[in-house]
Structure formats: C-alpha cells, structure tokens
C-alpha cells in the first residue's frame, strides 16, 4: 500500500516539481498547486526517502516566490491592505503564475509551513537551499511575516475561509520562524509575539471556533504546543469532529455540506501519526485501520465523503491525505 500510495503521489507531481492538490484532470480547480498542500505532500516523499522529488517541490516553491519577489518587496515596504497584495496561495503548476481568481489569499500559515519545512530538512542535512537567491527570498519571507504582523493578522487560515486570528496560522508561523532561525535573521520579538497569541487563544482555533481539525497541525508537524495542550486538542477533535468516514473540519462547516458536515479522510492518518508520536499503539492502529477503510477501490484517499454516505467528492486522490497515510505507515514509535 505504501508503494501504491507513493505512485499516486508521484502522479500528482508536474514536471516543474509542483504537486497538484488532486488529479491533473479534475475540473474543480484542484489541478492547481497550493503552497501549503505542497509542503504536506512533501512529507510523503520525505518518509519514503524520495529525496529527488522532495527537493523538486521546494526548489519549485522557491522559484515561484522568486518569480513574484517584487510583490513580496511591496508587502515588506508597506503592510498589505488588500487580499491581492498578500502572497498568493495557489499557482499554475506549469507556468508558476498566480491564480487571480478571487480567493481567501490571506494564508499566513502557508508561509510558516514553508519556512518550517525548509528549516527542518536543512537541519536533517537534506539540502534544499541552492544559492544566495534562495537565502535572500527566505529572509524576505521572515520580513514579510513581520510586515503583515502575523500574530494578530486576521487571515483566511488553512481552510481559506473566514478572516480571523487562527491558532493554526499563528502556530505555523511560530514554528517556521523558529526552524528557519539558523538560516535567516529572525528577530526574537517575532517569535515571542506569536507565542503570546497562542497562549491567549489555545485551545481554541479562533474566536468563533472552539475546536477545529486544523489544530492538529500544532501537534504534528509543528510541535509547538505542550503535552497538556496536545492532549486537550486531541480530546476535543475526537469528541466533536471524528465521524465514520473521516474528520469534519469544524462544526457548522458548509463546504460540501449535505444535511451535515463533510467528512475529510486526512483526519484519520493525521490522528494516527500523532498517536504514534505519543507512543499510543492501540490508538495509532485504530486510526490507521480507519484510514484503510476509507480508501476507494483504486487505493485513493479522496478529499472527503459526504455526511452519512458511502460516496466521496470528485477530488480524489487528495495529495495531502495520501501523503499523511504514507507518513503514518513509515513513522516509528518512540523508544
């Protein structure tokens, strides 16, 4: 199954190195490339030591940002006042151009995620940075997060929806700034301000959301919460969000809503990974079995299943889900 899932993930990668969110042929827009989704997709390549494809992702993401460096410079010079002035979340995976459709483009977590993983891979001696151009754009991303004042910037968050201060966005930036600090100049106040916000917000995701699947990111991959905070997040997610075919994003989610909230498959391997990290083999095995149970006949993990239904939406496979399954299978228990 790992080999098959890896083949599925490889099929979603364009010649440029960018990974599409789903099949190249889908008509939903998921044939495009998201910064965040590429970071999560890369976890599957890392887990299987597919380092050539892993590096292709990050080199492509850095090339995208270098191509739009002028925009980052403008945002550093003056805090963005409009959505289009923020670093875009989605790109054409062939031309690497921004997608100009109106979208929830204020996604600070995507920048935090990118900085986090580049710093993490470099610390493992998996060399991502090619030259001074890469170092320059990475430093500018730090300046960008300072300019937008990420710690109290109301962004669209992981789910690209309502503008609020999101714990998952702030946490991603805190983790990213910490990890990249060995490669870039990161003023201490940038991290400190984010940590203060997390202290106030957690265990909530935002003012309007008590619990949200996005909070799992603070446990894995970012590891920016205490053991007690992690336990609370897990308890809340399991109590309020876990369903038969997946994990709902949050209570009241209207995306693909049919009588009730849609059930996302990525939640099962995500929980499994965290329970393996916490050395809970029974819980890990439970959620890996749940993951296998929601694979379709092609061995794909679709984006989501409709509530209380056996059929899923057209976004299948979802790169993010497939990658988390691979990580879940390859991760080791603590000793």
Q: How do residues 111-120 score in pLDDT, each as one tens digit?
A: 999 999 999 9
Q: How do residues 178-224 score in pLDDT, each as one tens digit?
A: 999 999 999 999 999 999 999 999 999 999 999 999 999 999 999 99
Q: CA–CA separation, 20 vs 18, rounded Å?
A: 7
Model pTM above 0.95: yes
Q: How do residues 218-277 score in pLDDT, each as one tens digit?
A: 999 999 999 999 999 999 999 999 999 999 999 999 999 999 999 999 999 999 999 999
Could you give the percent of the chain with pLDDT greater than 70?
99
Q: CA–CA separation, 63 vs 85, rounded Å?
A: 19
- The pair of three-digit structure tokens given for residue 120, joined into one six-digit string: 């993490």
With cut-offs at 50, 70 and 90, classify the pLDDT of residue 177: very high
Residue 249's Cβ-count burial label (10 Å; 0-12, 13-18, 19+) is buried
pLDDT given at position 335 = 45
Asked whether the beta carbons of 275 and 267 are under 8 A apart, the reply is no
Res. 129: pLDDT tops 50: yes
Q: CA–CA separation, 45 vs 149, rounded Å?
A: 32
How many Cα atoms sit within 13 Å of 155 on the Cβ side?
35
In sequence order, the β-bridge partners of residue 155 are: 164
pLDDT given at position 119 = 98
Q: CA–CA separation, 335 vs 18, rounded Å?
A: 35
Q: How far is CA 99 from CA 32, 34, 138, 167, 178, in A?
A: 9, 10, 22, 26, 30
Strand, helix or coil at 249? coil
Work out the average pLDDT over 167-176.
98
Asked whether the beta carbons of 156 and 90 are under 8 A apart, the reply is no
Q: How do residues 18-55 score in pLDDT, each as one tens digit?
A: 999 999 899 999 999 999 999 999 999 999 999 999 99
Just give the CATH number of 2-330. 1.50.10.10
C-alpha torsion 306→243→9→172, nearest 10: 110
Q: CA–CA separation, 205 vs 16, rounded Å?
A: 35
Q: How far is CA 279 from CA 227, 273, 284, in A?
A: 13, 10, 8
Strand, helix or coil at 219? coil
Q: CA–CA separation, 234 vs 219, rounded Å?
A: 9
E strands within the chain?
33-34, 90-91, 263-264, 304-305
Kindly report the average pLDDT of the chain as a whole number: 96
Q: CA–CA separation, 191 vs 195, rounded Å?
A: 6
With cut-offs at 50, 70 and 90, classify the pLDDT of residue 334: low
Q: CA–CA separation, 298 vs 308, rounded Å?
A: 21
| Residue extents of the structural domains in the chain | 2-330
Q: CA–CA separation, 63 vs 133, rounded Å?
A: 9
Res. 105: pLDDT tops 90: no
Q: Which of 217, 213, 219, 141 is nearest to 183 (CA)?
A: 141
DSSP 2-58: HHHHHHHHHHTB-TTS-B-SS-TT-SSSTTSEEHHHHHHHHHHHHHTT-HHHHHHHH
Q: CA–CA separation, 32 vs 283, rounded Å?
A: 34
With cut-offs at 50, 70 and 90, classify the pLDDT of residue 7: very high
């Amino acid at each position: 199954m790992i080999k098959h899932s890896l083949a599925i993930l490889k099929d979603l990668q364009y010649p440029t190195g960018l990974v599409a969110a789903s099949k190249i042929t889908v008509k939903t827009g998921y044939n495009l490339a998201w910064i965040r989704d590429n970071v999560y997709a890369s976890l599957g390549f890392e887990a299987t030591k597919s380092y050539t494809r892993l590096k292709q992702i990050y080199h492509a993401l850095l090339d995208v940002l270098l191509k739009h460096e002028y925009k980052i410079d403008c945002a550093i010079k003056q805090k963005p006042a409009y959505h289009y002035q923020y670093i875009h979340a989605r790109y054409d995976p062939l031309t690497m151009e921004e997608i100009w459709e109106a979208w929830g483009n204020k996604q600070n977590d995507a920048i935090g995620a990118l900085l986090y993983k580049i710093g993490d891979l470099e610390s493992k001696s998996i060399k991502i940075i090619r030259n001074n151009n890469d170092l320059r754009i990475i430093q500018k991303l730090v300046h960008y997060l300072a300019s937008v004042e990420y710690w109290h910037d109301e962004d669209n968050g992981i789910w690209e929806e309502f503008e609020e201060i999101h714990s998952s966005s702030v946490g991603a930036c805190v983790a990213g700034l910490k990890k990249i600090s060995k490669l870039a100049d990161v003023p201490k106040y940038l991290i400190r301000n984010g940590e203060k916000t997390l202290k106030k917000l957690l265990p909530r995701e935002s003012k309007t959301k008590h619990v949200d699947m996005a909070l799992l990111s603070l446990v894995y991959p970012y590891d920016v919460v205490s053991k007690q905070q992690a336990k609370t997040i897990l308890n809340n997610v399991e109590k309020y969000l876990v369903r038969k075919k997946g994990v709902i994003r949050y209570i009241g989610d209207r995306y693909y809503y049919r009588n009730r909230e849609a059930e996302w498959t990525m939640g099962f391997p995500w929980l499994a990974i965290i329970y393996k990290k916490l050395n809970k083999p029974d819980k890990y095995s439970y959620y890996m079995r749940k993951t296998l149970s929601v694979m379709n006949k092609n061995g794909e993990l679709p984006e989501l299943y409709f509530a209380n239904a056996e059929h899923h939406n057209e976004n299948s496979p979802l790169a993010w889900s497939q990658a988390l399954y691979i990580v879940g299978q390859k991760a080791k228990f603590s000793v």
